[in-house]
A = this chain, B = another copy of it.
Amino acid sequence: MLNAADAEFVERLAGDLPDDTLRPAEPRYLEEPRGAWMGKSEWVALPRTVEEAATILRACQAARVGIVPYGGGTGLVGGQVSGDGPQTLVLSLERMSAIRAVYPQENVLIAEAGATLADVQAAAETESRLFPLSLASEGTARIGGNLSTNAGGVNVLRYGNARDLCLGLEAVLPDGQIWHGLRRLRKDNTGYDLRHLLIGAEGTLGIITAAALKLSPIPAGRGTAIMAVRDPASALALLSLARDQIGEAVSAFELIDRTGTDFLAEKLPDVRLPFDPMPEWMVLIEVGLPRGLVPSEALEELFVAAFDAGLVTDGLVAQSDTQRAEFWTMRESIPLANRQIGAIASHDTSVPLGALPEFIARGRKVIAAMGDFRVNCFGHVGDGNLHFNIFPPKGRNKAEFSNLKQAMTRAVHDLVHDMEGSLSAEHGIGRLKVDDLARYGDPAKLSAMRAIKSALDPAGILNPGAVLPAA
């Protein structure tokens, strides 16, 4: 059982740290974007160095005080706020925000955990390199949190998830030992891959304080198109065609549901929509091509082949950066429109790529059987990752249907599980899905996870109650 991060503990810890390392926790550390939880911590620790972070962990370990690691606070499953149990200490990495080094020749950048994703992207760009992780909250999200949650986003198809973009870590383990693992190596087979264990562990196995990140060449030319597809199966066939014609240079392939653009028209009328009338299904395609190839030509060629194959009915290739930005604004505004409409239940799912059309059809049917709801099913179809969100009928409010929320989620997750999919494709488990993981997770994997957690953090001080139930 843990002890509370009370005034006495904090006062004692403050004596071992420079002034102003510990502060009363402002409300921003206790809130999370969906408003489902409110943290109860009274204190936040703000270390400036990995050694200070280690001092904090050692003290918490000795006193059996829980810690909630805090990055940008943008997580969507409540992993950044304390749960039930004794009061925890918030550990914010915001002061460790330096870009320690960039090695353009090596395509490597070393960033501290508190650097925002946008800062990392900008530092890479200054050296004519690309850090391809990209997601809606990149101005606020911090790279330590992106790694701890193995963030996904729009470029996974080409460049992988956050874990695929990390070569090494510096981290504090639960017992306060510092792991100096900031390797800049592409090949290193010296023992268990602790890096991949901490990445995606949501701060329950260690505190990431810095990372060696993989950069890529900036593609010589980028192009963006929007194509109206007949149905989700046509979207998949279009993806295959695109990869046959363009190879791995297809960097984003996003499915957009008519429900989403209806929400835009209703709530964000300034967002420009590309067709009139809007089609039932569209895809946004982005390519990044090497020298010697013209993106707009490659996309037009793709459109012609797809049209001939009966996959697409209409299409627009961006003719300028402005138009390219417009297409992306439409895509990136959908979550905001969703929030303004107000979802009864949201789901971050993935299924095997080939099963996507069946998943969408079965999912809509299951929800239709529950009432006259609107489903907005959109997302990173190139990765099999769809956000399957359920909204009240027009003119009604989500609060009226809150009694159905749990049943809806159960129905969607049952379906995902049945189709060998994931109930958390990119957002993680946090506090929101601890019970779901226990219900649907593989028993052998869960047993290994519990054994690892107990071995590395026997007192359970790190992010208690996230991912696994608190000890």
Contacts and interface: CB of A to CB of B under 8 A. Distances in A.
A454 B455 contact: yes
Copies of this polypeptide in the complex: 2
Name the residue among A184, A293, A384 with the largest chain B CB count within 10 angstroms: A184
A188 B249 contact: no
Chain A interface residue number, banded: 35 or more
Interface string A390-427: 00000000000000000000000000000011111111
B428 A189 contact: yes
B354 A105 contact: yes
A103 interface: yes
Given A105-B240, A184-B353, A197-B197, 8 more contacts: A103-B353, A105-B354, A180-B444, A185-B425, A186-B350, A189-B428, A190-B429, A248-B248
B219 A427 contact: no
A246 B291 contact: yes
B452 A185 contact: no
Interface in A434-471: 437, 441-449, 451-456, 467-468
A449 B192 contact: yes
A189 B467 contact: no
A178 interface: yes
Nearest to A160: B164
A12 interface: no
6 contacts: A161-B187, A185-B425, A186-B384, A289-B290, A451-B456, A455-B455
Interface string A331-356: 00000000000000000001111100
A266 B46 CA distance: 64
A22 interface: no
B149 A448 contact: no
